[in-house]
Copies of this chain bind each other. A is one copy, B any other.
Amino acid sequence: MDFQIKQATEILSQTPATIESLLGNLSDEWIFASNDENSWSSFDVIGHFIHGEETDWIPRAGIILAQSENLMFEPFDRFAQLEKSDNKTLSELLETFADLRQKNIETLKSWNLTEEQLNLKGIHPELGEVTLEQLLATWVVHDLTHIRQIVTILAKQYAENVGAWSAYLSILQ
């Protein structure tokens, strides 16, 4: 599929409402469930989304667009949210994520990016040279990855409850 800002934005726009729909009315037992003590709960994933809005996607796009001397991105702390989400409720986190995402999409749209700008490059601290288009496509896939993570965590809570059907349910493997 060719990358188009309009289509990418369709996915980016739906994510906060999808997460809200998926988790907004669930018991705490679902929200705070994780597959083991070292892995994230659905609650933790929302914190990760928030941290990405604050420090990853749009700030990195800004670095690429500026084309200043230093094209290197700040490393992304994938565990930063675990502390920052302390003492927050699920609905506070969902609201913060939705607000930040909306502002970031407005910023993205306001740039009216050209094909030439989408080909501009930045430097990822581990992956090396990447383009703005690749960054934006990754933002989209990252959203979908973490929706997938949430539904997988939820499903696994019933791994023992489905009995023989387990054989048909690859999400449980």
8 A Cβ contacts from A112-160 to B:
124, 127-131, 133-135, 137-138, 140-142, 144-145, 147-148, 151-152, 154-155, 157-158
Cβ-defined contact, A154 with B144, below 8 A: yes
Q: Can you list, as one digit per residue, whether each of A13-27 has a CB less than 8 Å from chain B (1) or not (0)?
A: 110011011101111
Q: Does A40 contact B (CB under 8 A)?
A: no
Q: Are A131 and B169 in contact (CB under 8 A)?
A: no
Given contacts A27-B7, A30-B7, A164-B127, contact A1 B140 (CB under 8 A): no
User: Does A108 sit within 8 A of B, measured CB to CB?
Assistant: no
Q: Report how far A151 CA is from B143 CA in the complex, Å.
A: 9
28 contacts between A and B (CB under 8 A): A1-B157, A3-B158, A10-B25, A10-B27, A13-B25, A14-B21, A14-B24, A14-B25, A18-B21, A18-B22, A20-B21, A124-B164, A127-B164, A127-B165, A127-B167, A130-B163, A133-B161, A134-B161, A134-B165, A138-B162, A140-B155, A142-B169, A144-B155, A144-B171, A145-B151, A145-B155, A148-B148, A148-B155
